A and B are shown apart, each in its own frame.
Chain A
Amino acid sequence: MSSVERAQPALPLQQASPVRSSGDLALRILVYALLILLAITMVVPFLWMIATSFKTSEEILFPNFFPDSPTLENYTFVLTETALPRWYVNSFIVAIFSTISVAFFDSIAGFAFAKYQFPGKRVIFVAFLGSLMVPTEMLIIPWYIMSVNPPIGATWVDTYWGIAFPGVITAAGIFLMRQFMQGVPDELLDAGRIDGVSEFGLYWRIALPLSMAAVGALCIFNFLGNWNAFIWPLIVTSALDMFTLPVGLQFFSSEFTADWHLVMTGATLSLLPLLTIVIVFQRYIIEGIALTGVKG
């Protein structure tokens, strides 16, 4: 297919879009109108959330969309009277820790599968990939039993390691890195060996730097996935100050169910930094999804 695509510029037909230029103005206007309408339905809930977060407890009962006299009181309350800042830190620590771990272990395992021959390679690879078919929901009960009575240490409940351990190495990431590292030329590695580079050096100094695009995509998805992870952190944390952001937000919102101005402030605070990151990196993230088919 790609060869056909490459041959395409040779064709004399101009403008590759399937839209025909003749008499399609009406259709084009219709498409834009529909897209604008749909885009509005995507954005309005966020605006409503932000607008509510600046309202007072009285004003949320009025039907106006934007606040008449915006107040920052809700933000002061949520940031000083609740543990939300702490949940932020927790989420950040867990997401950073598991992302670094995934970047290292997934890429080194991918390197081993892509560039080495050894007995049992197929079996190990299939076992890794096969584990993808087992849903998290099936593992959370055994994980919980394991966390209460862990193989190492006293208890994993209410610890950062307890929250992070299921995701410190991922099968999907290993698969992605293997695919990518197969593209690293063998000649380059052999040249390194002749120059006396150690096998770990080949990974660290040659294969890894050449795979940075894939590692980057993997890191972003992993960070987002960990940041938004819910069911396992919900189960493995019981102490308020060990909650991650989604767990804390669920707890906080349930406590303040009728105080929508506070709930929306919590939601806004939990979403804004992430939204900023996504808007900045959007091109990279969207292309990464298209490339790998990974679901955040």
Chain B
Amino acid sequence: MTRRTRLIVFAVGAIGVGAALIWGTAGAPPFGHYRGPYGDVFNRRAVPERHATNVINAITFDYRGIDTVGEEFILFAAVMGVTVLLRRQRDEATPRRGDGDRPPWRPSDAVRIAALTLLAPAVLLGLYIVAHGTLTPGGGFQGGMILGAAPLLVFLAGRTLLHPRRDPMGPLEFGEGLGAGGFVAIGMVGLIATGAFLENVWPLGRIGSIFSGGMLPFINVAVGLEVGAGLVIALYEFREQTLLRGRG
């Protein structure tokens, strides 16, 4: 297909889709006037029912928890896909460990200092966001993302990502599996104890305390572990590719 015909085909489709989108949103409530009712029901009931002041967190991991289990396994499968696609091919050299296991470039001092200065605050912020997921904006997904970004800072600083002579994939894969399996295991506890998957069986705690929300803090930790480890696995695989390339 030439570029010209492709553009014509795209234009026809785009006009159709654009018209459908405008027609569809014209029937939606006007912007800024959400009508409910589900959001309002959750806003009223999440705190009394789950003692979680972050209503979003209660919805993600409790009210629509089984849906989130599915989303988490999309993430799990995507990370597995990255690992499989970027595995070392038969005709590729094995990257040397030790001194050679560094990025094939030397970052400027400004980048190194900025990255290494931000490392500790990034880890602390990630842990805070995971731990306070049920109280304030945040949770396992967001905190896991920040934690997964911390090794990226180390890499930007031109340092080895982890111990040069040990393969980090073992513990990382264990962490990812533990996080993904942990979420399902917590759900199974509810299933066995009450007959409903992810039904809360843990004391709800005092509203506003870090241990409030019943099982929600545990799920936040499990998801944070899974997201963080998954991101680092993907990052590590891409880094391995740049090392292969750097050696030519």
Q: Decide if A and B are genuine partners.
A: no
Which positions in B face A, CB cutoff 8 Å?
Answer: none
